[in-house]
């Protein structure tokens, strides 16, 4: 296992650098003048060409793309991502503040998706072609079809405006001391939206995987031996159906990170996604590169965790 993990991490290194290089190049080729983002459009109108060129030299924008990338990469490996064009502090300081709220939101939504989606999939598989199966299938497809921003606005209208039982934005009440219940109240709507959206997808995959396993000979033998149905379902069917489900859950982690951008923006959740949205609208390239760096690392780590989970779920898999 250790040898395999080392090999995977070594393979991830060139992939990581290739992703950062391509995205850095896309940022550099994007239309618009970065100098205007730094000093502002109105200030740029009153500056001479010489003054504008001095600003360009000061920020290293006069150098070729590959030179700028090499300079950025050399500082990045030392945990120095520079300063944002908009805002205060360093890029690293901003990321440190925003990553924990996003991890809290994503972790809670993953837990909700698993608690809702997997039982739904099991029930749908065991009640195949029944009214319950059709009803839960409609619910799952409805979750997959509705965009997150539409559900978010609906939640705000019902639970915040009409019922007035949940807050509409932020992760804590402004001016109030920290309270666990207050944090949970602010977390309920954004986490539920992200969790429900992925619960429908995971329910469909759980159903399909279990139906495939149910046709296996060893399931028929287990039932012929007189085992209780619960033991057949959870020890023989569900356990062997976990492997493809682990793949789907692992591949969904980057989707959760992308969905968090919309949900965090709607609910003004002070996390990674909202920071990325603001940085995109202000064309803050240093901040966007820092966000990309952390996002790429999270995706590579999630893929590595998925591979490790294979061995835990299926004892036949061994990494020598």
pLDDT tens digits for range 73-120: 888 888 888 888 777 888 889 888 888 888 888 889 888 988 999 999
Among the four given CATH numbers 3.30.420.40, 3.40.50.920, 1.10.3720.10, 3.50.4.10, the one describing domain 92-274: 1.10.3720.10
Domain ranges of the chain: 92-274
Q: What is the average per-residue pLDDT within 138-145?
A: 84
The arithmetic mean of pLDDT across residues 197-221, rounded, is: 87
How remote is the C-alpha of 89 from its chain's centroid? Answer: 25
Does the pLDDT at position 320 exceed 60? no
Please state whether the predicted TM-score (pTM) of the whole model is above 0.85. no
pLDDT of 302 reads 80
**Interval 36-45: pLDDT, tens:** 777 776 777 7
pLDDT, tens digit, 9 for 90 and up, residues 253-294: 777 777 678 888 888 888 888 888 888 887 788 888 888 888
């Amino acid at each position: 296992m250790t040898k395999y993990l080392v090999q995977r991490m070594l393979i991830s290194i060139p992939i990581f650098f290739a992703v950062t290089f391509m995205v850095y190049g896309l940022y550099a080729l994007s239309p618009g003048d970065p100098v205007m983002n730094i000093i502002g459009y109105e200030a740029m109108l009153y500056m001479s060409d010489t003054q504008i060129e001095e600003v360009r030299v000061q920020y290293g924008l006069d150098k070729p793309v590959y030179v700028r990338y090499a300079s950025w990469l050399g500082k990045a490996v030392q945990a120095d991502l520079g300063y944002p064009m908009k805002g205060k502090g360093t890029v690293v300081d901003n990321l440190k503040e925003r990553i924990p709220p996003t991890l809290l939101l994503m972790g809670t939504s993953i837990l909700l998706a698993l608690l809702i989606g997997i039982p739904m999939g099991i029930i749908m598989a065991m009640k195949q072609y029944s009214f319950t199966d059709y009803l839960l299938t409609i619910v799952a497809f409805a979750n997959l079809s509705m965009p997150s921003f539409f559900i978010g606005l609906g939640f705000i209208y019902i639970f915040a405006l009409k019922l007035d039982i949940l807050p509409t934005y932020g992760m804590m009440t402004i001016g109030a001391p920290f309270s666990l219940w207050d944090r949970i109240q602010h977390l309920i709507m954004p986490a539920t939206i992200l969790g429900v959206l992925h619960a429908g997808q995971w329910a469909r995959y759980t159903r399909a995987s279990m139906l495939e396993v149910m046709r296996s000979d060893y399931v028929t033998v287990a039932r012929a031996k007189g085992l209780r149905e619960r033991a057949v379902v959870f020890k023989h069917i569900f356990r062997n159906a976990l492997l493809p489900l682990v793949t789907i859950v692992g591949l969904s982690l980057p989707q959760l990170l992308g969905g968090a951008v919309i949900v965090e923006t709607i609910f003004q959740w002070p996390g990674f996604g909202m920071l990325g949205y603001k940085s995109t609208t202000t064309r803050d390239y240093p901040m966007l590169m820092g966000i990309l760096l952390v996002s790429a690392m999270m995706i590579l780590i999630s893929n590595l965790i998925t591979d490790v989970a294979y061995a835990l779920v299926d004892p036949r898999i061994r990494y020598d």
